[in-house]
Amino acid sequence: MSQMKIYLDGAWVSKDKAKLSVFDHGVLYGDGVFEGIRAYHGHVFRLKEHLQRLKRSADQISLKMPLSVAELDRLVNLTLKKNNLRDGYIRLLLTRGVGDLGLDPRKCAHPSVVIIADKLALFPAECYEKGLSVIIAKTVRNLPQAINPTIKSMNYLNNILAKIEANRAAVPEALMLNNEGYVAECTGDNVFLIKGKSIVTPPVSAGALEGITRAAVMKMVKAAGVYSITEKLFKPSALFQCDEIFFTGTAAEIIPVTRIDNRRVGSGRAGAVTKRLIEDFKAVVRREAALIGAK
Ligand code: PMP
């Protein structure tokens, strides 16, 4: 296999050479932002949306993007090409850059840009058939007034604490509640409930990331016109009073959830509506790749 080539501040370097300074505030403080992006059939899915979100995240931490969105678009595509990947996962990092041991971001003159393209580790295929078993974490999602979950920041400790709870319970994901007890999202995915002809997901203000997959699913469902889809606050009790639950994320795509805290969700099996959405989403991805064309 040929060596992986990672973009690092203006050059493509091999995996063993792709290193950030220990004085980078991304390393010292988790001071930076990132994106997880997907390529299908030689086309980067919703790249503009990802780069716009990166820009919004950077703005929220007063980090000036060292490259334009157009330039980042070109570099993401070039990184895929250099790694001969038509299907893969892209990790784009924007760190505060090298400073001193103090917190002050003004000491960091040059943000670092890293782009990694690799194959992706998904949930095992059987999870898409059987559905996930998950828990509700005791760790509360970050308060929007403290660290806004709309910032896709390099500090994921809040999510990692919930992930550790999931690990202890031997399940692959955990739902997180906000400080008012409303369901916010998962450690790395957004959440949706289906009841009858209505689909709901928590509003971003509940403490969720504005997921690109979430937005794609909302648009797709609205366009089909069969189910209503709305943003609404709900408490954990709603999780056990609905027909189906699914999670969305760039890596997970759409995945059914069939058990929460060892209690059955709906029938306890992956629901028909979720399965249909999984197929519809694949069709959207194929159509966009065919329409826009591989670069
Ligand atoms: N919430 C969190 C906390 C995430 O980290 C992610 C993605 N990694 C998502 C939701 C899903 O967002 P997207 O569909 O843009 O991948």
- Which pLDDT tens digit goes with each residue over 138-157? 999 999 999 999 999 999 99
Is residue 294 one of the residues assigned to a domain? no
For residue 194, the SS3 value is: strand
What value does the mean pLDDT take over residues 6-24? 97
* pLDDT at residue number 295: 47
* 96 and 146 part of one domain: no
pLDDT one-digit tens code per residue, 51-106: 999 999 999 999 999 999 999 999 999 999 999 999 999 999 999 999 999 999 99
* 234 and 144 part of one domain: yes
> 57: CA distance to ligand 1 center in Å?
13
Neighbours of 105 (CB within 10 A): 16
- CA distances to 195, 197, 240, 242, 246 from 266, in Å: 9, 14, 7, 6, 12
* pLDDT at residue number 122: 73
Q: Report the alpha-carbon distance of residue 115 to residue 34 in Å, rounded.
A: 10
Mutate to test the pocket of ligand 1, among 163, 209, 253, 284 (most ligand atoms within 8 A of CB): 209
* 201 and 77 part of one domain: no
Closest ligand 1 atom, CA of 50?
15
Domain-terminating residue out of 101, 118, 135: 118
Q: Residue 175's domain spans which residues?
A: 125-286
Q: 294 — phi, psi (to 5°)?
A: -70, 145
Neighbours of 283 (CB within 10 A): 10
Is residue 182 one of the residues assigned to a domain? yes
Is residue 156 one of the residues assigned to a domain? yes
Q: Has residue 50 got a pLDDT over 60?
A: yes
Strand partners, 230: 200
* pLDDT at residue number 1: 53
Chain mean position to CA 105: 26
| 64-76: b (≥16 Cβ within 10 Å) or e | ebbeeeeebbebb
Q: Report the alpha-carbon distance of residue 85 to residue 119 in Å, rounded.
A: 8
Domain-terminating residue out of 99, 118, 137: 118
DSSP 203: -
Clarify whether 232 is annotated catalytic.
Answer: no
> 207: CA distance to ligand 1 center in Å?
12
Residues with CB under 6 A from ligand 1: 36, 159, 185, 188-190, 209, 211-214, 248-250
Q: How many Cα atoms are found within 13 Å in the side-chain-facing hemisphere of 223?
A: 10
Strand partners, 37: 90
* pLDDT at residue number 121: 75
Chain mean position to CA 80: 19
* 69 and 134 part of one domain: no
Domain-terminating residue out of 118, 141, 173: 118
Domain harbouring 172, CATH code:
3.20.10.10
Entry pTM: 0.97
Is residue 295 one of the residues assigned to a domain? no
* 210 and 274 part of one domain: yes
pLDDT one-digit tens code per residue, 150-205: 999 999 999 999 999 999 999 999 999 999 999 999 999 999 999 999 999 999 99
> 204: CA distance to ligand 1 center in Å?
12
